[in-house]
Structure 1
Amino acid sequence: MPTWLEVALRTLSAVFILFVMTKLLGKRQISQLSLFEYITGISIGNIAAYISLDTDSKWYLGLLALSVWVAVSVGMEFVTMKSKRIRDFVDGKGTILIEKGTLIEKNMFKERITLDEFMEKMRSKSIHRVADVEFAVMESNGDITFMVKKELQPLTAQALGWQTPREREPQSVIMDGIVIDDALRRSGFDRKWLNQQLSEKGVKLEEVYLAQVDDAGDVTIQTGERSIP
């Protein structure tokens, strides 16, 4: 087999295997990586590159290494779900950076975050004074969460003692000109009702890029060129 064809086939195989293994690892691996998951991701990428390009006759050992890494990562996830002590050790714990409006300098030094970086994070949350913050915590994934003082928080219906009706999630009933029957059923309507709505708005089904039904039964339609309320 020509070398170029062997490399191409190995690369396609590595892509497929990585896809399957990433599905096994779960969405958390993609969204927010812990330290262990970060190490796992780097290692898996390096092994996949070896499988694709190394013409060594024992390239199949890379598949074994991939399987071991994935098995260890999945096993570690189950262990950390069961044990808080191990979870704190592997994933780390949050560090309080502001408590009752006061910056904790030793914790800032511990996490190696400068005042400039911290102020930038604050501004990204539309907060401009440290004194306005009740608590700030650096999470285990490196993000910083802020809780402003109660008197500066926006008013809510609960704070005013108002009773508000529960809302349902808007349902996307048409996508790319295709009716999504499950979403239409969850919205409490059928195709006859939907066809009537399209007729009243003067739109054909195949012209609809996206149509959504809200909690009140109102339909909004996007054709790709205009929005039809």
Structure 2
Amino acid sequence: MPEWLDVAVRSVMFLVFLFFVTKALGKKQIAQLSFFEYVTGITIGSIAAEGIMGLDGNMYLGLLAIVIVALLPFLSGLISLKSKKFRDFIEGKGTIFIKDGKVMEDNLKKERYTIDELLELLRNKDVFQVSDVEFAVLEATGDLSVMLKKENQPLTPKDLNMKVASIKEPQTVIMDGKILDEPLATIGHSRGWLKTEIDKLGVTIENVFIGQVNSYGELTVDVFDDKLQVPSPQERPLMLSTMKKCQADLELFALATEDKLAKQLFVKNSKKLQKAIDQVTYILKS
């Protein structure tokens, strides 16, 4: 067999073999790696390169070596699940860089980080002032986790004692101009409903690059033609406007009538409707 063909065959075989080995090791192997996983990955890559280009060697010994090296992180992962000490030794532990708003200089030196590098890590988290941070820890993966001081944290509906509706993940029902039936069925809609909603937007399905249905049941689309302006869903704003108009009409009726019983009824229902409007405004307001 010519050398070029031998290298080509070895390359394809090792590539396919490495794909299945990596898939067996799990997604963690391609995410942020621990020290041990990092070393294992380099070793497997070196063995594969030698197996591909080492024309005088036995290719199957290279495959065997990859299997053996790949078994090590697999076994260490099983042991790590049962032993925290082993997990801390293999994967490492987080190092506190900021505690109670104060920089831990000794820990910075221990991890050989300068204050400039700490500031860079903070900027990557959209934090530009050290005094805004309550707690920060350098994870074993090298990422910096940051907790801002309470007064610097963004407000949430919970802080304001507001109840918010739960939001479900949007379902992609159109992709590259083609309808996806499975996600459409997941939200309980048919192709007929989808075509009706598409007609409301004034576009054709073939011209839709991506179409998604949000948790409110509204269809939003992005079309291939970037110059084409597609209107945003108006059902919720229209409903809110209708409710406000009805509330205003009740107030006008109360002012216009001279019947005391009717006036009381209009005022009472106007207040009820206003209360309902206040409760749903954050949902219906787009």
Q: What TM-score do you get using the length of structure 1 for normalisation?
A: 0.95
User: Following TM superposition, by how much is the alpha carbon of 1:26 offset from its aligned partner in structure 2, in angstroms?
Assistant: 1.3
Q: Which residue of 2 aligns with 1:208?
A: 208
Mapped partners of 2:32, 2:57: distance in 1 = 36
Check conservation: 2:51, 2:57, Cα contact below 8 A: no
Letter aligned with residue 106 of structure 2: K
User: Following TM superposition, by how much is the alpha carbon of 1:81 offset from its aligned partner in structure 2, in angstroms?
Assistant: 1.9
SS of residue paired to 1:136: strand
Structure 1 residue 224 and structure 2 residue 232: aligned? no
SS of residue paired to 1:209: strand
In terms of Rg, which structure is larger? 2
User: Following TM superposition, by how much is the alpha carbon of 1:173 offset from its aligned partner in structure 2, in angstroms?
Assistant: 0.9
Query: Percent of aligned pairs with the same residue?
Result: 45
Letter aligned with residue 225 of structure 2: E
Deviating more after overlay: 51-60 vs 88-97: 51-60
User: Following TM superposition, by how much is the alpha carbon of 1:192 offset from its aligned partner in structure 2, in angstroms?
Assistant: 1.6
User: Following TM superposition, by how much is the alpha carbon of 1:184 offset from its aligned partner in structure 2, in angstroms?
Assistant: 1.1
Q: Which residue of 2 aligns with 1:179?
A: 179
Deviating more after overlay: 109-118 vs 198-207: 198-207
- The alpha-carbon distance between structure 1 residues 83 and 182, as it changes in their structure 2 partners (threshold 3 A), is farther
User: Following TM superposition, by how much is the alpha carbon of 1:203 offset from its aligned partner in structure 2, in angstroms?
Assistant: 2.9
Mapped partners of 2:130, 2:223: distance in 1 = 46
Q: Which residue of 2 aligns with 1:126?
A: 126
Mapped partners of 1:206, 1:65: distance in 2 = 51
Q: Which residue of 2 aligns with 1:139?
A: 139
User: Following TM superposition, by how much is the alpha carbon of 1:18 offset from its aligned partner in structure 2, in angstroms?
Assistant: 1.1
SS of residue paired to 1:158: coil
Mapped partners of 2:44, 2:3: distance in 1 = 23
Q: Which residue of 1 aligns with 2:246?
A: none
Deviations 1:154-197 (A, max 9, x none): 11111111111111111111112232222112223122211222
Structure 1 residue 157 and structure 2 residue 194: aligned? no
SS of residue paired to 2:98: strand
Letter aligned with residue 124 of structure 1: N
Mapped partners of 2:131, 2:208: distance in 1 = 50
Letter aligned with residue 68 of structure 1: I
| Runs of 4+ off more than 4 Å | none
Letter aligned with residue 206 of structure 1: E
Deviating more after overlay: 141-150 vs 117-126: 117-126
Determine which structure has the larger helix proportion and give its number. Answer: 2
Specify every segment of 5 or more residues in structure 2 that has no aligned partner in the other structure, as ranges.
Answer: 233-286
Q: Which residue of 2 aligns with 1:5?
A: 5
Deviations 1:10-34 (A, max 9, x none): 1011111111111111111111101
Deviations 1:33-70 (A, max 9, x none): 01111011101111111121110241210000111111
Q: What TM-score do you get using the length of structure 2 for normalisation?
A: 0.76
| RMSD of aligned Cα (Å) | 1.4
User: Following TM superposition, by how much is the alpha carbon of 1:102 offset from its aligned partner in structure 2, in angstroms?
Assistant: 0.9
Check conservation: 2:101, 2:132, Cα contact below 8 A: yes
Highest RCO, 1 vs 2 (Cα 8 Å, sep ≥ 6): 1
User: Following TM superposition, by how much is the alpha carbon of 1:133 offset from its aligned partner in structure 2, in angstroms?
Assistant: 1.0
Size of the aligned set, in residue pairs, is: 229
Specify every segment of 5 or more residues in structure 1 that has no aligned partner in the other structure, as ranges.
Answer: none
SS of residue paired to 2:135: strand
- The alpha-carbon distance between structure 1 residues 171 and 20, as it changes in their structure 2 partners (threshold 3 A), is same
Check conservation: 2:207, 2:225, Cα contact below 8 A: no
Mapped partners of 1:225, 1:19: distance in 2 = 38
Mapped partners of 1:91, 1:65: distance in 2 = 23
Mapped partners of 1:178, 1:31: distance in 2 = 32
Check conservation: 1:50, 1:59, Cα contact below 8 A: no
